[in-house]
Structure 1
Amino acid sequence: MRKTAYILPAVVVVLVLFLSSIFVVDEREKALVLQFGQIRAVKEEPGLAFKIPFIQEVVYYDDRILSLDTDTIEVTPSDDRRLVVDAFARYRIADVVQFRQAVGVGGLRTAEDRLSGILNAQIREVLGADQVTSDVILSADRRQFSNRIRDAARVSARSLGLDVVDVRLKQTNLPSQNLEATFARMRAEREREAADEIARGNEAAQRVRALADRTVVETRSAAQRDADVTRGEADAERNGIFAEAFGSDPEFFAFYRSLQAYETALTGDNSRMVMTPDSEFFEYFKNQGAQVVVPESAAPEAPESEDAAEAEPEAPAPAAAAPAAPSPDAPSPDAPDTEVPASGAPAPEAPVSE
């Protein structure tokens, strides 16, 4: 019984000491074995490991890629327009020994504070460099600035045992007090570009319109020239036909032209012409050189007595037409005499031989 009383506590003590000397390293972690604050071993491979119980202790650090959001800061590019910049970084603990020596017992909180200061300093340095304007920073082509910030921060973070994997700019905005002025400037710039485009469009339209007008004028001139040539040739042919006809029979030509003049002048219901009876216009309406032939049956009988003569006055004998100057349509002397109706209307003209 006495041996059992001593053996059981000894077994318990040995079991506790054994369990205190064993620790497990996860595949997502790295471990440091410390003895009185000094690093005695580094455990980076996953699995079981041993330490001296009650003398050594184990500190675990995350071996995964971690994220860090920086504080919002204001930077001033080369064009003196302030920008509000907010970034985030991806980093991992590359050297746990150096990390422990750099941050001590502060751990990740202290490391992130120091890394955030490094990132803010690099952001101000890169975005505030010469020839870096706010328009370039606000454009879509700002990946180069993120790469430059990452490379510079990676060099500075090596002293902390950290490896900066990536840096991205989340937002690069203007301060609220500068937004309205910036929008007004952008609006004026866009309006100027629109005015330039409108001016170029109007210039192109004017060139097209001028070319079209010149083409129209040239086409019309050519058509008018061809029409004038055709009209001149037709007039020449017509005048040749008229001249040939006039030379063949001048009298008939003059008669035909007079008929055309009558048809043109006396057209319409309201035509009125005031002229003297001996006008040349009615030359072919006259009865020049016509002789009056009275039939025997129409001749008046001689009165039988003086009473009869007094009762019925003797009708005056029609006087022969006075000889006048021959007209173009006057009958020849050999032609038979033309009778004149009693109403005094002109007798029909003799046919004109061609």
Structure 2
Amino acid sequence: MKKTTFLLPIVVLVIAGLLSSVFIVSETQKALVLQFGRVVAVKEEPGLAFKIPAIQTVVYYDDRILSRDVDPLEVTPLDDRRLVVDAFARYRIADVNQFREATGASGDQAIEIAGRRLDSILRSETREILGSVSSNDILSSDRFALMLRIRNAAIAEARGLGLEVIDVRLKRTDLPEQNLAATFARMRAEREREAADEVARGEEAAQRVRAQADRTVVELVSEANRQSEIVRGEADAERNAIFAEAYGADTEFFEFYRSLTAYSRALQGGNSSMVLSPDSEFFEYLKQAERP
């Protein structure tokens, strides 16, 4: 009985020591084994691992891909058209030992410290790279190449923090609030100028069409008048030929017909009066009618 009482605490201590010497590294973690604050082992593979109880401690770090939103910053491209850029980055802890040395902390505190330093790197590279191109390049589809340049430049600097920058994206690229009104006015003036140019070109084209139409009208009317004069002349010639032929066939009858025509035109009803000598040639055929 006394022996059992003596061994039981020893067994408990041994079991507690064994349990405290075992630790588990999950698939989303990396671990550092510290002995008196100095790193003695790095555990990057998931599973069971061992440490010396009471002497060594374990510090865990996140092994997943992390995201970091960069606060909006103003950049000035080559054309001095200021832009507000909003970006974010994806990164992971590549060298956990170097990461601890760079941040001097563990857990969420280390992530926050590294995030602030990464912000500084990204803001510096973003300003430098976007400041070397025009605003049209930033706002166009070519900005994918710019994001790639920012990422590649940040990779080298982030390596000193034990971080691997995987991707950098520009989420939003806008004009500063104080520039929006001026930019809108400039865009409106440009559109109005383009509209005025289009109206002017349209008026010029309309004038050409109207001039061509007027010319065509004059040419058509002139040709029609020419053709009508030709037809009228031919008709008059034919009429004169018929009259000449008729006159040649019976001269006396033709003169009689012309006299009757003259009588019918001159002696019409109304208030018109004629003062002629009785022996006038005009009444020659009337005189012949009075003879017995």
How far 1:219 sits from its partner (Å)? 3.2
2-structure distance, mates of 1:44, 1:265: 135
Range with greater deviation from structure 2 (199-208 or 1-10): 199-208
Q: Which residue of 1 aligns with 2:156?
A: 155
Q: Structure 1 stretches of 5 or more lacking a match?
A: 292-336, 338-354
Matches within 5 A, 1:36-185: 36-105=36-105, 107-129=110-132, 132-139=133-140, 141-185=142-186
Q: Tell me the SS of whatever aligns to 1:119.
A: helix
1-structure distance, mates of 2:284, 2:46: 141
What are the Cα deviations for residues 258-302 of structure 1, in whole angstroms up to 9, with x where unaligned? 5555666678x8x542321449796477324733xxxxxxxxxxx
Q: Which residue of 2 aligns with 1:186?
A: 187
Q: Tell me the SS of whatever aligns to 2:287.
A: coil
Q: Tell me the SS of whatever aligns to 1:61.
A: strand
Q: 2:256, 2:285 within 8 Å by CA — same for their partners in 1?
A: no
2-structure distance, mates of 1:15, 1:261: 157
Q: Structure 2 stretches of 5 or more lacking a match?
A: none
Q: How many residues are paired up?
A: 288
2-structure distance, mates of 1:64, 1:154: 17
Which amino acid counterpart does residue 16 of structure 2 have in structure 1? Answer: V
Q: Which residue of 2 aligns with 1:206?
A: 207
Which structure: larger Rg? 1
Q: Which residue of 2 aligns with 1:290?
A: 290
Q: Which residue of 2 aligns with 1:306?
A: none
Q: 1:33, 1:57 within 8 Å by CA — same for their partners in 2?
A: yes
Asked if 1:235 is matched to 2:236, the reply is yes
Q: Tell me the SS of whatever aligns to 1:286.
A: helix
Of structures 1 and 2, the one with the larger relative CO (CA 8 A, separation 6+) is 2
2-structure distance, mates of 1:135, 1:281: 104
CA RMSD of superposed structures (Å):
2.7
Q: 1:29, 1:61 within 8 Å by CA — same for their partners in 2?
A: yes
TM-score (norm 1): 0.72
Matches within 5 A, 1:5-44: 5-44=5-44
2-structure distance, mates of 1:180, 1:266: 92
Q: 1:255, 1:284 within 8 Å by CA — same for their partners in 2?
A: no
Q: Which residue of 2 aligns with 1:329?
A: none
Q: In proportion to residue count, which structure has more strand?
A: 2
Which amino acid counterpart does residue 244 of structure 1 have in structure 2? Answer: E
Question: 1:135–1:266: structure 2 CA closer, same or farther, 3 Å change rule?
Answer: farther
2-structure distance, mates of 1:227, 1:55: 126
How far 1:183 sits from its partner (Å)? 1.6
How far 1:125 sits from its partner (Å)? 0.5
Q: Tell me the SS of whatever aligns to 2:27.
A: coil
How far 1:116 sits from its partner (Å)? 0.1
1-structure distance, mates of 2:9, 2:260: 161
Question: 1:216–1:281: structure 2 CA closer, same or farther, 3 Å change rule?
Answer: farther
TM-score (norm 2): 0.86
2-structure distance, mates of 1:258, 1:55: 156
Q: In proportion to residue count, which structure has more helix?
A: 2
What are the Cα deviations for residues 7-41 of structure 1, in whole angstroms up to 9, with x where unaligned? 22122111111111111121122222222233222
Range with greater deviation from structure 2 (29-38 or 63-72): 29-38
Range with greater deviation from structure 2 (168-177 or 67-76): 168-177
Q: Which residue of 1 aligns with 2:275?
A: 276
